[in-house]
Amino acid sequence: MLLAICALGFVYLFNPSTSTLYPMCPLYWFTGCYWPGCGSMQALHQLPHGHLVMALGLKPLMVLSLPFVEYFFASRAMIAVAGRPVKTFFVRPVFIWMFLVVVFAYWFLSNLPFYPFSLLAP
């Protein structure tokens, strides 16, 4: 928990687009191609500053998946603290496969160098 608070504080204080504290993406460095996670730190930096629209513009898939990630960590914390899990819900495998198709399509389209797909690049 303390590690997560420190990480969020670091992301809040230091802008990834201007700071030299963040390493360059290895895939982009080797290939010149973006991967689906490129730009996530920039979007995470915008969220605590209250810039939701800018975060959505930088990395919409990451921002839209944050409630699910938060639910996962909250349920694990509930098990650790109270000893009982929160109510779970079942996600049909077809939705997981559809999400993976969307991620791969976003990955492919964000690397196309022409308009309007160039808008998807970080």
pLDDT in tens, 11-20: 888 887 777 7
Confidence of residue 43 (pLDDT cuts 50, 70, 90): confident
Q: Is residue 88 over pLDDT 80? A: no
Nearest residue to 73 (alpha-carbon basis) of 9, 3, 14: 3
Contact 58, 36 (CB under 8 A): no
Handedness of CA 93, 98, 102, 107 (dihedral sign): positive
pLDDT band for position 1 (50/70/90)? low
Tokens matching residue 51: 């810039």
pLDDT band at 26 (very low <50, low <70, confident <90, very high): confident
Q: Where are the alpha helices (DSSP H) in 1-122?
A: 2-13, 26-31, 40-46, 52-58, 60-82, 93-110
Dist CA 66 CA 51 (whole Å): 15
pTM: 0.74
Q: How many domains does the chain have?
A: 1
Residue 113 CA to residue 5 CA, distance in Å, equals 37
pLDDT at 25 over 90: no
Domain membership of residue 26 as a residue range: 2-120
Q: Which two tokens stand for residue 84?
A: 């009982």
Helix (H, G, I), strand (E, B) or coil at 89: coil
